[in-house]
């Protein structure tokens, strides 16, 4: 798996931290300084505005733990006055509320991180935002250079590869961030997981996750945001974090239909640049061995029991974000011992073959069942590797145009 910790900065990043509480301000400042960042600290709005002019920060961290309203006011002031409009702002708080997260993003924040920080995750997200900023700066500088030499056609062509390389690097950085927040495979216990995720060359909007809601109920989900690029990837990350942190008000996360209804209210396409997404969400009850699930415009999950009897798990609903008043439906099934379930996005089978025909969902199911019978080791990804390699073969060795995302869950 790609690590963001291998990324080298083009220069030492300058960080500006705002916090009205001296203790937490110094704690955050020391943590960042010890990691090699150049850090400036502000404990009041006036000091913050002065330091912005002096320090020219690459990123601003605003802790709203003590006063959310003050933090939002500061962000609004910076936005209204055009202060550091190109500098990413990250909000932090000990209590993550959905309305605060949405307000922060609406005010132009790029992330919202819960305190106390988990160091590895915190620095991975920090590095991702900084590298995106540096990439944008590099892209801007390159654009200026291209405008200055646009009279000379030969020189414009000579700059083309560099320009595309910058865009590719920005997409690669975003892709690495998506990979960094995916869950680790589970190799012990009554539930085992393994997965294969290969981002497309254009970066899609796939992501997935799983976690225990309580000692008896385990949630698993996979989503696919429409279109390609950084914007769909960021929306996918936002949805993933919402599910992982259970940041939907008045929502029973043990009820898949209720979860989809709440997601549909929060992530309407009219409020998110006309982007919508499909999702498969399930809750497995360990003691009852039952699975409650709901899908929204998503391919049916494949369930195989120990005798290789196949079942297709879907609940025929529309996509998330299309109709705010739609009421989503769910289904329930029993999970026999030693069963396998595969959840995936349409990128694993909507493959445009060399003859311009698409690999169908039915063909993919047949291939996956056959490949699964060959792989008796629940801790490996052999059948998923086979499916990916076959998809590449269908493309005559060309890279896939969509994310390849497939998650295997084994119920022992």
The string of pLDDT tens digits covering residues 365-380 is 999 999 999 886 666 7
| Region 309-335 average pLDDT | 96
350-368: pLDDT as tens digits: 998 777 888 999 999 999 9
Domain with CATH 3.60.40.10 in the chain: 183-411
Q: In what order do the strands lie in the sheet with 38-42?
A: 38-42, 14-18, 59-63, 89-93, 111-114
Determine what percent of the chain is predicted with pLDDT higher than 70: 90
Angle at 125 between CA 94 and CA 87, to 5 degrees: 95
Structure tokens at 152: 């000379």
> 88: exposed, middle or buried (C-beta count within 10 Å: 0-12, 13-18, 19+)?
buried
Q: Which pLDDT value is given to residue 278?
A: 97
- Which of 75-89, 210-224, 260-274, 351-365 has the least mean pLDDT? 75-89
- Residues facing 18 on adjacent strands: 42, 62
**φ and ψ at residue 399, rounded to 5 degrees:** -70, 150
Categorize the per-residue pLDDT at 4 as very low, low, confident or very high, splitting at 50, 70 and 90.
very low
Mean pLDDT of the chain, nearest integer:
88
Say whether 87 sits in a helix, a strand or coil. Answer: coil
164-173: pLDDT as tens digits: 566 566 666 7
Q: Which pLDDT value is given to residue 201?
A: 63
Angle at 90 between CA 201 and CA 33, to 5 degrees: 100
Q: Which pLDDT value is given to residue 1?
A: 32
Distance CA 204, CA 233 (A): 6
Distance CA 5, CA 11 (A): 15
Q: Which pLDDT value is given to residue 290?
A: 98
pLDDT of residue 31 exceeding 50, the answer is yes
Q: Which of 387, 386, 378 is nearest to 408 (CA)?
A: 378
Architecture of the domain defined by 183-411? 4-Layer Sandwich (3.60)
- Which of 31-35, 165-169, 241-245, 398-402 has the least mean pLDDT? 165-169
> 342: exposed, middle or buried (C-beta count within 10 Å: 0-12, 13-18, 19+)?
buried
Highest mean pLDDT range out of 19-33, 81-95, 276-290, 381-395?
276-290
Q: Which pLDDT value is given to residue 318?
A: 97
Q: Give the residue, 2 or 53, on which the prediction is more confident.
A: 53
Is 1-181 a CATH 3.40.50.2300 domain?
A: yes
Domain with CATH 3.40.50.2300 in the chain: 1-181
Q: Which pLDDT value is given to residue 187?
A: 92
Give Cα 301 distance to the centre of its chain. 21
């Amino acid at each position: 798996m790609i690590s963001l910790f291998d990324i080298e900065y083009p220069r030492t990043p300058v960080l500006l931290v705002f916090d009205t509480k001296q203790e937490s301000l110094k704690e955050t400042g020391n943590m960042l300084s010890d990691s090699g960042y150049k850090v400036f600290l502000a404990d009041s709005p006036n000091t913050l505005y002065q330091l912005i002019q002096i320090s020219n920060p690459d990123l601003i961290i605003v802790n709203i733990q003590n006063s959310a309203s003050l933090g939002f006011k500061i962000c609004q002031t910076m936005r209204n006055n055009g202060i550091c409009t190109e500098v990413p702002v990250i909000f932090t708080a000990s209590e993550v509320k959905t309305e605060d997260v949405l307000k922060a993003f609406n005010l132009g924040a790029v992330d919202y991180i819960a305190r106390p920080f988990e160091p590895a995750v915190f620095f991975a997200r920090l590095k991702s935002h900084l590298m995106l900023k540096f990439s944008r700066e590099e892209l801007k500088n390159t654009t200026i250079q291209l405008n200055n030499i646009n009279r000379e056609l030969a020189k414009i062509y000579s700059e083309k590869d560099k320009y595309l390389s910058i865009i590719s690097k920005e997409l690669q950085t975003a892709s690495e961030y998506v990979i960094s927040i995916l869950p680790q495979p589970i190799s012990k216990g009554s539930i085992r997981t393994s997965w294969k995720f290969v981002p497309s060359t254009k970066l899609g909007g796939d992501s997935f996750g799983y976690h225990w809601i309580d000692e008896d109920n385990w949630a698993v989900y996979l989503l696919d945001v429409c279109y390609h690029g950084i914007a769909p990837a960021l929306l996918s990350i936002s949805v993933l974090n919402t599910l992982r942190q259970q940041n939907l008000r008045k929502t029973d996360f043990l009820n898949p239909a209720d979860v989809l209804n709440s997601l549909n209210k929060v992530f309407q396409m009219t409020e998110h640049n006309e982007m919508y997404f499909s999702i498969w969400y399930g809750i497995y009850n360990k003691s009852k061995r039952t699975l409650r699930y709901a899908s929204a415009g998503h391919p049916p999950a494949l369930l195989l029991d120990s005798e290789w009897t196949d079942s297709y798990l879907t609940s025929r609903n529309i996509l998330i974000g299309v109709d705010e008043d739609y009421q989503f439906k769910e289904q329930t099934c029993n999970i026999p011992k030693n069963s396998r379930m595969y959840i995936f996005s349409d990128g694993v089978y909507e493959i445009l073959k060399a003859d311009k025909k698409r690999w169908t969902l039915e063909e993919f199911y047949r291939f996956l069942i056959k490949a699964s019978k060959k792989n008796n080791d629940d801790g490996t990804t052999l059948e998923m590797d086979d499916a990916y390699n076959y998809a590449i073969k269908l493309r005559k060795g060309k890279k896939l145009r969509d994310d390849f995302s497939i998650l295997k869950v084994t119920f022992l």
